Structure 1
């Protein structure tokens, strides 16, 4: 059995998504994030791939996926063909090659429902899940009950699928409309006190999402958080859901979350 470190970043991306029963759509973006967090050559800049960039990478990832399927490490299911990830049946042969060669299956779009799902055999979970999603040593870290209310909110936000910091479901409070520019910045300084240290330590990545109809995003560096979040346009009452600023755990942050604060899932709505 190979070690986790012996897999390429493309293989690791596909295996991680397979162990999470993720859709094939969005996998190219996940690969770009994996490259960037690993500091690999050819990694994208701190933003999402464009659709053109995603489509250009499909042949590479299709070849990797085919090889993993051939090695028995990955299975692909087509829900449009009434095959669910819970079934023993999976796509193979010419149907598999056609699915993987079709770029539309790899690129997320609200206009095309996701139908192709990745999964992994039990042996893959048993052998590599703890390597793909490790738990960090929590020595010296505060306990959940030692974190402030706002720190807990930020961590739960990063763990949630939506993970919005701004907007109607965001965990940060927007500055009152009557504040001038200087006082808006002061307001955001107080809001960011619970977020910025996690970003500075590489545990959380903050992203700006301009359009809910795409998976486009731009990464906001810790030094730009204050000015970005003070932008009045982020706090408009008429923004569509999904437009604004959100956050996700990096792999390092997820390891710390699993090691020190994963029990918070059982109390994630209890912040007092």
Structure 2
């Protein structure tokens, strides 16, 4: 039976080119480029499958912890291969923000971490989870494929758009970005509006958001419970109606992490950015 050290050493046969990576490996590299924690990766892998139209995952909600657990062995093996191939490193996270000085996890400890479901599943204690860091070589490989010289403008080029587009793009790019709720981008709905007047107000206010959603650039999500990674997806055709619902907006609640947010779509067609 292969021991922990053998598992790490076997990772040296890992892939070296982006097109040779599995979907799970591509997701891990993208997360490492941004310096995300390992906790929550299964939810993001499910999102990539959802955006690609895969029947493996629900179309209009996130996946539960039990559903996420089935990807733990695949993600663990992918992590070891990517470390062995020089794409990324794993750092021991602390309770605060990730730092370049966080110690690297290697050897048998890395193998144990990769196989542990607690490494991957999000919880309130995820702030101490391990952190993914792209190596210099890994980042260069990713950038060469993601941003070819003759490629189209990136969603990240915020200086090319007006203020409202910029605000929506920033919300989609930041894990702390919210559209509604106590810390949301949109102001509270005027209390005197109702019916057709309310719908017209919301339609005008969310016009940029709806355009991005219909173009497949972002996904709008609704979180009803704080301190949870459970959410429902708001399809473009239902966006205006949903944002007219004062209860769903959660504007009068005090907790962070409730209401509507949006996320940059990274399916296989938009594979890298």
Specify the TM-score bucket, using the shorter chain as the normaliser.
0.7 to 0.9
- Give 5+ residue unaligned stretches, structure 2: 1-14
Q: With structure 2 as the length reference, what TM-score do the two structures score?
A: 0.79
Matches within 5 A, 1:249-260: 249-251=264-266
Find the counterpart in structure 2 of residue 166 from structure 1.
180
Matches of 1:39 and 1:217 in 2, distance apart?
Answer: 18
Give the conservation status (yes or no) of the 8 Å contact 2:250–2:258.
Answer: no
Secondary structure, counterpart of 1:79 in structure 2? coil
Secondary structure, counterpart of 1:118 in structure 2? strand
Q: With structure 1 as the length reference, what TM-score do the two structures score?
A: 0.79
Matches of 1:52 and 1:133 in 2, distance apart?
Answer: 36
Find the counterpart in structure 2 of residue 128 from structure 1.
142
- Give 5+ residue unaligned stretches, structure 1: 259-272
2:53 aligned with 1:28: no
Q: Deviations over 1:211-237 (max 9, x none)?
A: 221122222110010111111212442
2:263 to 248, 265, 270: 248
Identify if the C-alpha distance between structure 1 residues 185 and 92 changes in structure 2 by more than 3 Å, giving closer, same or farther.
same
Aligned residues: 248
Identify if the C-alpha distance between structure 1 residues 117 and 157 changes in structure 2 by more than 3 Å, giving closer, same or farther.
closer
Secondary structure, counterpart of 1:194 in structure 2? helix
Q: Deviations over 1:78-100 (max 9, x none)?
A: 236xxx86359632332112111
2:210 aligned with 1:211: no
Q: Deviations over 1:108-153 (max 9, x none)?
A: 21134333111232111112234246785249xxx95763x43333
1:238 to 242, 248, 253: 253
